[in-house]
């Protein structure tokens, strides 16, 4: 049977997390189809059709999918679920919001945030903030799964030539409506796709300090900016900066934790980074237990020195 | 308007999980257990709605072992009016919990159900969404602000790119994110009062729900250990290491 991957996009372009999800589907084995639901999103379907290993793209284009609510999206996915052994979505805020609805409507379990495929029924997923890995086997007819991007190398965005097939939109359930949006625009790389992340914690002291100290470093390195929960709670930076168990899960080539103590909930979001650097004035901060390179120093001296020397 | 608040008993967030040596699960023996932090935020939000005169009654419900009663008492010490325990020793997975909660909601007819967005033990992040689907209700997950007025809920949600605000018809399901509120500490008089508040106990069979697990845990293992590296003496050495050894800049 085939596998259905739910595309993540903003009607203008396909999000990178879709490629990692296609890679997870390929590991399960079977024909991979992608469902693109949106409004005026033909370009997204065209991009999806080019992903290596994708056999078919299903496109549901309708005005009421412009702001894709969980209720409408889940109903559409369920209407298209027949014939698929697995339904996969990236574990983004949209995927996490929508896919459990799909699972419940199909009366099956969801397997959240898998990081490895053992076989077509068996998957590995982190539990307890990543302090343990559970291998779980599903007995359901349809496996509904969200995929953690850091667990799978992205499928190539080019090389495929899938057919695009229009599918009927489901009715607009009209139960919820988007009435406001504050999406930060940034010239920097996206946190979950960045090769280098500069991340600041409570040690930054204020939003002003955060920006004045860390932006020059991120500029020099072409890095994305991240933060601990404490820095977000204190209002230094917006919520989308948060890395951790309940924020974003990242695994860049280089993660520089500055003024972050290293609570387990923070480590859960970044401990799979290739190289971790910690700058902290407390030599006993737990972050040093996972850091490849630790610098015990006051960040307000060390970071400007680092910027000057790069 | 009634508000239903499901709460889960989990290992306290300050405890580091240890994998059992036989790989069958996490060692919970003699470990401090608490209410899931996101659920505490849910209870607090419901109680604030009652204090604001929006909600008339706050009902806490928990599904699991008999010792979930402690968790329900905590919810009532924060301010829930009464509690329902769905008592079972079967390992409950999110779909089963959602079905139990649907059956409770069918009986109680709340206008709003507020849940934590995820439990910090299984990190599944499913129950609220599943419950909304089973009830055929709208949902707003990962809430950082909830306003209930004029028969609808306006909910600001934390999403990957920032914030978005949804207007939902009621009844609806809301799941909480960390920044929705800061739960109050239960005071001693309120803890004492909570002991006298009513608590009903039901069995899954009373609700006609099959709670058999759909997922079998094959094994639980330790994640690959990350060993501590070295401390560098100064910024110059740090840059040298990143350039020449790690080759990441
Ligand atoms: C349910 C739950 C979920 C959570 N989810 C997350 C999550 O997703 N992400 C997350 O990050 N946290 C999360 N947390 C919070 C987590 O437990 C910690 O409270 C948080 O990560 C601490 O942030 P911090 O390291 O910035 O602050 P602190 O722990 O206060 O550490 C600040 C550090 O800065 C250092 N410092 C201060 N001044 C300087 C200076 N001038 N120079 C150098 N160093 C300095 C200090 O030595 C200290 O180590 C969660 C908690 C709970 C209960």
Task: Report the distance separating Cα B44 and Cα B38, nearest Å.
Answer: 10
What does the pLDDT read at residue B129?
A: 98
State the pLDDT confidence band at A301, using cuts at 50, 70 and 90: very high
Nearest to A137 among B139, B218, B246 (CB): B218
The two structure tokens encoding residue A77 = 């996915």
The tens-digit pLDDT sequence of chain B (249 residues) is 999 999 999 999 999 999 999 999 999 999 999 999 999 999 999 999 999 999 999 999 999 999 999 999 999 999 999 999 999 999 999 999 999 999 999 999 999 999 999 999 999 999 999 999 999 999 999 999 999 999 999 999 999 999 999 999 999 999 999 999 999 999 999 999 999 999 999 999 999 999 999 999 999 999 998 888 999 999 999 999 999 999 999
What does the pLDDT read at residue B101?
A: 98
Is any ligand 1 atom within 6 A of the Cβ of residue A260? yes
Residue A132: in which H helix or E strand, if any? Answer: strand A132-138
- As a whole number, mean pLDDT of residues A285-308 equals 98
Among A12, A246, A261, A301, most B C-beta atoms within 10 A, so best to mutate, is: A246
- Could you tell which of B13, B44, B238 is best to mutate to test the pocket of ligand 1, judged by most ligand atoms within 8 Å of the CB? B13
Task: Indicate if the pLDDT at residue A116 is higher than 90.
Answer: yes
Give the percent of chain A with pLDDT over 70. 100
Q: CA quadruple B137, B138, B144, B147: dihedral positive or negative? A: negative
What does the pLDDT read at residue B228?
A: 84
Integer angstrom CA distances of residue B197 from A20, B54, B194, B201: 50, 21, 5, 13
Is any ligand 1 atom within 6 A of the Cβ of residue A281? yes
Residues 76-115 of chain B with CB under 8 A from chain A are: 93-95, 98
Chain-wide mean pLDDT for chain A? 97
State the pLDDT confidence band at A299, using cuts at 50, 70 and 90: very high
Task: Report the distance separating Cα B117 and Cα B135, nearest Å.
Answer: 18
Task: Report the distance separating Cα A222 and Cα A201, nearest Å.
Answer: 20
Task: Report the distance separating Cα A133 and Cα A130, nearest Å.
Answer: 7
Give the pLDDT confidence of A101-111 residue by residue, as tens digits.
Answer: 999 999 999 99
Task: Indicate if the pLDDT at residue A58 is higher than 90.
Answer: yes
Counting beta carbons within 10 angstroms of the beta carbon of residue B224, is it exposed (0 to 12), middle (13 to 18) or buried (19 or more)? exposed
Distance in Å, CA A230 to ligand 1 centroid: 5
| pTM confidence score | 0.97
* Chain B neighbors of A271, CB-CB under 8 A: 226
Rg (CA), chain B: 21
């Amino acid at each position: 049977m085939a596998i259905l991957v739910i595309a993540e996009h903003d009607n203008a372009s396909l999000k990178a997390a879709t490629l990692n999800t296609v890679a997870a589907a390929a590991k399960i084995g079977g024909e991979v189809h992608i469902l693109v639901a949106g409004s005026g999103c033909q370009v997204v379907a065209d991009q999806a059709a080019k992903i290596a290993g994708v056999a078919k793209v299903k496109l549901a284009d309708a005005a009421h999918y412009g702001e894709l609510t969980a209720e409408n999206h889940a109903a559409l996915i369920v209407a298209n679920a027949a014939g698929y052994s697995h339904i996969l979505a990236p574990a983004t805020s949209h995927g996490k919001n929508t896919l459990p609805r799909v699972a419940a409507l199909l009366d099956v379990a969801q397997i959240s945030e898998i990081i490895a495929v053992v076989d077509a029924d068996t998957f590995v997923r982190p539990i307890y903030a990543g302090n343990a890995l559970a291998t779980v086997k599903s007995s359901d007819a349809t496996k509904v799964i969200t995929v953690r991007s850091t667990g799978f190398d992205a499928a190539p965005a080019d090389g495929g030539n899938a057919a695009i097939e229009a599918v009927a939109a489901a009715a607009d359930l009209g139960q919820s409506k988007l009435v406001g949006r504050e999406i930060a625009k940034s010239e920097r790389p996206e946190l979950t796709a960045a090769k280098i992340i500069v991340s600041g914690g409570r040690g930054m002291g204020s939003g002003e300090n955060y920006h004045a100290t860390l932006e020059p470093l991120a500029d020099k390195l072409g890095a994305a900016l991240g933060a601990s929960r404490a820095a977000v709670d204190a209002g230094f930076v917006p919520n989308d900066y948060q890395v951790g168990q309940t924020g974003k899960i990242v695994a860049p080539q280089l993660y520089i934790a500055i003024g972050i103590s290293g609570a387990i909930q923070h480590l859960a979001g970044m401990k799979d980074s290739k190289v971790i650097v910690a700058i902290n004035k407390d030599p006993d901060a737990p972050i040093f237990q996972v850091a490849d390179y630790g610098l015990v120093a006051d960040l307000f001296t060390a970071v400007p020195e680092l910027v000057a020397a790069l | 308007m009634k508000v239903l608040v499901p709460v889960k008993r989990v290992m306290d967030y300050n405890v580091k999980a240890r994998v059992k040596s036989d790989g069958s699960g996490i060692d919970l023996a003699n470990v401090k257990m608490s209410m899931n932090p996101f659920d505490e935020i849910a209870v607090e939000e419901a109680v604030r709605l009652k204090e604001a005169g929006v909600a008339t009654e706050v009902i806490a419900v928990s599904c699991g072992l008999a010792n979930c009663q402690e968790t329900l008492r905590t919810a009532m010490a924060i301010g829930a009016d009464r509690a329902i325990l769905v008592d079972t020793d079967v390992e409950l997975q999110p779909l089963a919990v959602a079905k139990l909660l649907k059956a409770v909601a069918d009986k109680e007819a709340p206008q709003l159900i507020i849940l934590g967005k995820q439990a910090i033990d299984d990190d599944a992040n499913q129950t609220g969404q599943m419950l909304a689907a089973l009830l055929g209700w709208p949902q707003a997950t990962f809430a950082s602000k909830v306003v209930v007025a004029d028969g609808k809920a306006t909910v600001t949600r934390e999403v990957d790119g920032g914030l978005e605000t949804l207007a939902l018809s009621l009844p609806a399901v809301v799941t909480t994110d960390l920044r929705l509120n800061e739960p109050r500490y239960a005071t001693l008089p309120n803890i004492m009062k909570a002991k006298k508040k009513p608590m009903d106990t039901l069995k899954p069979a009373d609700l006609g729900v099959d709670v058999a697990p759909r997922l079998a845990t094959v094994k639980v293992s330790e994640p690959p250990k990350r060993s501590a590296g070295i401390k560098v003496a100064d910024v110059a050495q740090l840059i040298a290491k990143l350039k020449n050894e790690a080759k990441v800049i």
